[in-house]
Amino acid sequence: MALALTEEHLALAESVRGWAGRVAPPAAIRAVTTAGDGGAALYTGTLRPALAGQGLLGLHLPESLGGQGYGLPELAVAVEELGRALVPGGFLPTVLASAILLSARTSALDGLVKEMAAGTLTGAVGLAPGIRADAAASGTGAGDSGQSRAGNGQPGTLVIDGTCGPVPGAGLADLVIVPVASGDRQIWVALDSADVEITPLDSLDLTRPAGRVGVDNLSVPADRVLTGLAPGAAMSIAATLLSAEACGIADWAVTTAAEYAKIRHQFGRPVGQFQGVKHRCAWMLTAAEQAAAAVWDAARALQGAADPRTAAPDTAAGPGAAT
């Protein structure tokens, strides 16, 4: 079971799958795994402009921000297909970052969202704790808006310190979004990669460079604090899109295993005819279909909440619905 259900989504999935097969065939993916750069060169030189040209980097964004005017369900379909092909680089980290910025209703950062859609800016999102607000340097600490007062008493500057990692795609990113512990709350900030220290990390994923993001008493301007982001929204969007990618990989694995079971012979007949192999393939298919159904429901639940500026308050699903 793939995420695509409607005719429009099936056409989108077919288009993305065909495109991925042309620009990132298995030979190119094998070359990436041996190059040791996590696909950075291929993504920056070839894939990023091609993804932007196909409109995939802005698929979920409104047209006013350079996007295609669709939403998270359509983005999930595209992410699944690109995951199936193991397309390397920063696509998923970038669309995750732009989706979070969109959900944060921070109009001051709309220019960054437009750059991501155009393929001129790459994003990444850290999900692990480790960065905290410096209460002493920030003065009175963060208020309900998530902003702080600097040591000189001026409102709007947040001072942060610590590390966050691993961050998928950090080595490719121009912009990094990370969570910050501020008292008993969690807030999110958008940081330029030039202002942070990114330490490369070894990763089991050979197609996407990971890194640890570190900050040392960094002052964050008020317009880089995502005060409009609802609690749990960033994690819900991340869980949905990362799971969509995993569904693509799982569906490829199920299909490949089943096809191999038809041609691999043992004791004079295909191994797929043995009951033990049949059961394992059936279990794999069931698990993959259950995962796809959960991701689809999560994407639909988050649709509308992704851009509260265009969603009716009484119809938009809350971010917790995805989890």
Which CATH number belongs to the domain containing residue 207 in this structure? 2.40.110.10
| Residue 170 domain-assigned (yes or no) | yes
Is residue 158 domain-shared with residue 65, that is, in the same domain?
no
Is residue 87 domain-shared with residue 141, that is, in the same domain?
no
What tokens appear for 265 in the block? 């012979």
| Residue 2 domain-assigned (yes or no) | no
CA distance 244 to 80: 5
Q: Which domain holds residue 163?
A: 124-224
| Residue 1 domain-assigned (yes or no) | no
Is residue 107 domain-shared with residue 13, that is, in the same domain?
yes
Lowest-confidence region among 221-235, 247-261, 275-289, 298-312 = 298-312
Domain of 36, CATH number, reads 1.10.540.10
Q: What is the mean pLDDT of the chain?
A: 87
Do you find a cis peptide bond into 166, omega within 30 degrees of 0?
yes
Last residue of a domain, one of 122, 140, 162: 122
CA distances for 304 relative to 47, 173, 319, angstroms: 29, 27, 10
pLDDT of residue 36: 86
Is residue 24 domain-shared with residue 108, that is, in the same domain?
yes
Between residues 305 and 46, the one the model is more confident about: 46
pLDDT of residue 319: 35
Confidence check: pLDDT of 257 > 90? yes
Is residue 208 domain-shared with residue 275, that is, in the same domain?
no
Confidence check: pLDDT of 4 > 70? no
How large is the average pLDDT for residues 218-233? 93
Is residue 152 domain-shared with residue 85, that is, in the same domain?
no
How large is the average pLDDT for residues 261-274? 89
| Residue 290 domain-assigned (yes or no) | yes
Is residue 19 domain-shared with residue 107, that is, in the same domain?
yes
Is residue 215 domain-shared with residue 134, that is, in the same domain?
yes
pLDDT of residue 304: 59
Confidence check: pLDDT of 238 > 70? yes
| Residue 34 domain-assigned (yes or no) | yes
Confidence check: pLDDT of 157 > 90? no
pLDDT grade, residue 236 (50/70/90)? very high
| Residue 262 domain-assigned (yes or no) | yes
Among 167, 168, 173, residue whose Cα is nearest residue 44:
173
Is residue 88 domain-shared with residue 160, that is, in the same domain?
no
Confidence check: pLDDT of 147 > 90? no
pLDDT of residue 5: 76
Last residue of a domain, one of 224, 242, 271: 224
Letter for the amino acid at 212?
A: R
Q: What whole-number percentage of the chain has pLDDT above 70?
A: 86
Tally of structural domains, the chain:
3
pLDDT of residue 120: 96
How large is the average pLDDT for residues 163-167? 96
Confidence check: pLDDT of 148 > 60? no
Q: How would you label 193-213 residue by residue, b for 16+ Cβ within 10 Å and e otherwise?
A: beebebeeeeeeebbbbbbbb
Is residue 165 domain-shared with residue 260, that is, in the same domain?
no
Q: Phi/psi of residue 120, each to 5°?
A: -100, -5
pLDDT grade, residue 137 (50/70/90)? low
pLDDT of residue 313: 35
Is residue 207 domain-shared with residue 238, that is, in the same domain?
no
How large is the average pLDDT for residues 78-107? 95
SS3 (DSSP) at 31: helix
| Residue 29 domain-assigned (yes or no) | yes
Is residue 20 domain-shared with residue 115, that is, in the same domain?
yes
| Residue 196 domain-assigned (yes or no) | yes
CA distance 196 to 18: 38
pLDDT of residue 303: 86
Last residue of a domain, one of 87, 122, 157: 122
